[in-house]
A and B are shown apart, each in its own frame.
Chain A
Amino acid sequence: MGITLTDIAAERVSQFLENRGKGVGLRLGVKTTGCSGMAYVLEFVDAIEPEDQVFEDKGVKVIVDPKSLVYIDGTELDYTREGLNEGFRFNNPNVKDSCGCGESFTV
């Protein structure tokens, strides 16, 4: 399984990293909080931890900690635009239910 990125998501991530001027990749993860159980984490990574799993897709390093991987394995990260709003979207096959706003989910 692992984590993949759509072309546009990969392009945006590379661009953001370049603009930021530092960082080795992108961290995907989950934390247990929010109205429906868990919430996604999307952060720049400056240092890879020893236990981290590193995936590489379309030239982007995606870093996931093993605890999070259970919940998001197989996820495809997409970048889309909805009206004026644009941003990243997790296409996560593990999700059974998400809260109305979509910021948190249960597996």
Chain B
Amino acid sequence: MALLQIAEPGQSDAPHQRKLAAGIDLGTTNSLVATVRSGVPETLPNEQGEHLLPSVVQYKKGSAPVVGSEARAAATKDPLNTIISVKRFMGRGLDDVKSLGSRLPYEFVESESDMPRLHTVAGDFSPVEISADILKTLKQRAQDTLGDELTGVVITVPAYFDDAQRQATKDAARLAGLNVLRLINEPTAAAVAYGLDQGAEGVHAVFDLGGGTFDISILRLNKGVFEVLATSGDSALGGDDMDHAIAEWIMQQADIKDDVDHAQLRRLMHVARDVKEALTDSNSTTVKVELSDGAFWEGELTRETFNQLVDPLIRKTLVPCRRTLRDAGITAEEIQEVVMVGGSTRVPRVRELVGEFFGREPLVDIDPDKVVAIGAAVQADILAGNKPDGEMLLLDITPLSLGLETMGGLVEKVISRNTPIPVARAQDFTTFKDGQTALALHILQGERELVSDCRSLARFELRGIPPMVAGAARIRVTFQVDADGLLSVTAKEQTTGTESSIQVKPSYGLTDNEIEGMLRDSFEHAKEDAGMRMLREQQVEAERVIEALTAALDEDGNVLLSEQERTEINTCLQNLINIKTGNDIRAIKKAISQLDKATQDFAARRMNASINKALAGHKLDEFKN
């Protein structure tokens, strides 16, 4: 008989209609799955009682891939077929992946798409497929635990993940047969786990020190929406470095030479890790290592010495902390809560120094390894509809503005950054030339004014616009961002209903800090960008005037203008053509107004001529009434 969980008042479901939802922390080193049962969010263990699933996949010829601790154990023996830290490759192009580390043992294979594939004995796999294997294992664990199919999941991603990396994560989930309710940022999930989204509006910091990576994020809660103000970090700093420091200390104390074999080094790292963990709760611990001659060395490591060993490492995390505060434009005093994430934040000295830096006690009540998954589970539970109405629904925001290229290489922003999602915004555009029947749309992401400074996301064309004079067509372009931050763009010509659209399959390949960098650039270049925008706008205006006048001259110039008038207009026109490519905004403006003046009579005569033409052959009476 099925086992039951306690529901919120009035939220009991009919049998077989329970909305089971889970939160998944798909991590670089370890992954977790969590769910809300009887009102309590908790991570789910496997049969052995292990909550953490090492994010390692080993591929074997002729049998199913192995995921987790068993695969991790096989990594040293079978490095080519055992994929570690696949998250680092998600949504990256081959060039990015190669530059990530020439030290990686994997064989990358180029494929038709931009995504590289990893060669193993069982075939070539993309990072998306490998991640899907990790997700499948978590899905199976959740369904075994809950006794039924999952309705949907919330998966967490780093705040700095770009569209390509988010899309890759979503693809992996789909491949694993999971319905993604939403992707949310890891720091946001950690804040949700502590219920900060239910609290007062304010600014919070999330300090995430894992085994090999460090991330610091500053979040602002505003009208129920967490906005990532700034992120920073160090992709090569974590608990492993602390283990190294201890191992070195042991080698020094026990007089172990630097050139010992790998097995001995691995044993040392193991001992070092145990020592570090022991020092979380006690002030001193015994260190015992087997030497290569079979003898044992025994020593004592105190918390004080340990602190001295790791202090330089911990202080290294404070540099990015200072930087994010500066980027976010706030001071440490303005931070309300500091959330601790990642196993290395268990080290008392880390808590101490972080507390000192922000001037307040960090939040440590929830297991720092599980806090992200727990936050995701809380979010999944709400999204699946297991909470009564009125519970606040957490929204996310667009990290960068989204827009279109317009004439002159300028970016017209359709959705500005920090807009809560999901969102749809429409803007009307028109044609630039007479008789124009197609419109090329170029979708961009970024804060800068010029196309060349923003990131190109996609291009598509709207064809079949009926021929009209320039500016008469009305083309409505709609940008829609779904709850996961993924974009689709539709262009529709309003008079005929001709439509064309694109799902943004972002071009793979953006570095970790690029969003941050793009934002910073936009602030630094704000003035210069504004000037450039004005110049381009003048240039486009000049082009439009030249285009229109040339067309008019071709049509009526010979009939309506005298030789002298024609020469005068031509001089002004030539003058504008010469000046428009320059950088002098005022000169272009002046040339345009000169040309305008020179052509006033011509314009008036054209107007009269066309009215005469329209009236010719008709009696005045016909126009009465």
Contacts and interface: CB of A to CB of B under 8 A. Distances in A.
A35 B4 CA distance: 17
Contacts of A86: 3
A103 B144 contact: no
Interface in B1-49: 1-12, 14-16, 37-40, 44-47
A67 to B, nearest CB: 15
Contact of A42 (B6, B14, B47): B6
B1 to A, nearest CB: 3
Contact of B2 (A16, A33, A103): A103
A27 B146 CA distance: 21
A44 B9 contact: yes
Contacts of A26: 6
B147 A85 contact: yes
B141 interface: yes
A103 B15 contact: yes
B151 to A, nearest CB: 16
Nearest to A27: B9
Contacts, number: 90
A4 interface: no
A103 B16 contact: yes
Interface of A is mostly: strand
B280 interface: no
Nearest to B11: A43
Contacts of A47: 9
A12 B42 CA distance: 14
A90 B3 CA distance: 9
**Which of B4, B5, B44, B146 has the largest count of A CB atoms less than 10 A from its CB?**
B4
Interface in A2-56: 12-13, 16, 19-20, 26-27, 31, 33-35, 39-47
**Which of A20, A39, A43, A87 has the largest count of B CB atoms less than 10 A from its CB?**
A87
Nearest to A21: B39
Interface residues of B, number: 28
B47 A84 contact: yes
A87 B146 CA distance: 9
A1 interface: no
A107 B146 CA distance: 27
Interface in A77-107: 80, 82-90, 98-99, 101-104
Interface string B483-522: 0000000000000000000000000000000000000000
B5 A42 contact: yes
Contact of B12 (A20, A35, A42, A80): A42
Interface string B92-136: 000000000000000000000000000000000000000000000
B316 to A, nearest CB: 38
B40 A41 contact: no
Contact of A87 (B5, B14, B46, B141): B5
A88 B1 contact: no
A19 B47 CA distance: 26
A87 B39 contact: no
Contact of A101 (B10, B15, B45): B15
Contacts of B144: 83-85
B305 interface: no
Interface in B310-357: none
Contacts of B9: 27, 43-47
Nearest to B39: A20
B141 A84 contact: yes
B16 A88 contact: no
Contact of B15 (A16, A39, A45): A39
A83 B46 CA distance: 10
A98 B15 contact: no
A16 B16 contact: no
Interface of B: 1-12, 14-16, 37-40, 44-47, 141, 144-147
19 contacts: A33-B15, A35-B15, A42-B5, A42-B6, A42-B12, A43-B6, A43-B8, A44-B9, A44-B39, A46-B9, A83-B47, A87-B2, A88-B3, A88-B6, A89-B4, A99-B15, A101-B2, A103-B1, A104-B15
Given A26-B6, A42-B7, 18 more contacts: A16-B39, A20-B39, A27-B9, A31-B12, A35-B16, A42-B4, A45-B9, A82-B3, A84-B144, A85-B3, A86-B3, A88-B3, A88-B4, A90-B4, A98-B1, A99-B15, A101-B16, A104-B15
